[in-house]
Amino acid sequence: MEMIGVIGAGDATDEQVRTAEAVGELIAQSGYALITGGLTGVMEGASRGAKNAGGTTVGIIPGNDSIEANPYLDIVIPSGMGDMRNMLIVRSAKGLIAVGGGYGTLSEIALSKKRKVPLVTINSWDISEDILRAKDAAEAMDILLKLIKK
């Protein structure tokens, strides 16, 4: 099953978590599995949205203990790699949607650009003219699905 990744901060705002939940729901409705970093905040919101829509959820967590993972994951991969897991998330995803985010999200954005993995952001890092931005979950999914199908 192909996966779409949602990236963003574990210490996200309530609005970012709601946006991520809507993105996760749309990913599941589009027939893709969801992949995240498996923790709280944006990652948990997206996982909850995908699960509530009947989707499959995968989390690659930074530590060695699956107890760290959010409760909405079907598959937990304890990487023991810390932030280096970000590359695994980028490489595993057919495309990515960033919701807000801190420096970890910034690293995933940079990796996606380097690897040419389609990326759309919602209120995230504004670091380059070639990063596509969306105003909400629906627009982000619409843009990303068009990029993936190219």
Say if CB 88 and CB 60 are below 8 A apart: yes
- Read off the pLDDT of residues 130-148 as tens digits, 9 standing for 90 and up: 899 999 999 999 999 999 9
> 117: helix, coil or strand?
coil
Is residue 147 situated within a structural domain?
no
Domain of residue 92: give its range. 3-142
Is residue 149 situated within a structural domain?
no
Q: How far apart are CA 60 and CA 1, in angstroms?
A: 16
We report the CATH number of the domain holding residue 28 as 3.40.50.450
Q: What is the reported pLDDT for 150?
A: 73
pTM summary value: 0.97
Is residue 127 situated within a structural domain?
yes
Q: What contacts 38, CB < 8 A, 6 or more positions away? A: 47, 58, 59, 60, 61, 68, 69, 70, 73, 76, 77
Is residue 148 situated within a structural domain?
no
The two beta strands, 3-8 and 33-36, are: parallel
- Read off the pLDDT of residues 15-73 as tens digits, 9 standing for 90 and up: 999 999 999 999 999 999 999 999 999 999 999 999 999 999 999 999 999 999 999 99
What is the count of structural domains for the chain?
1
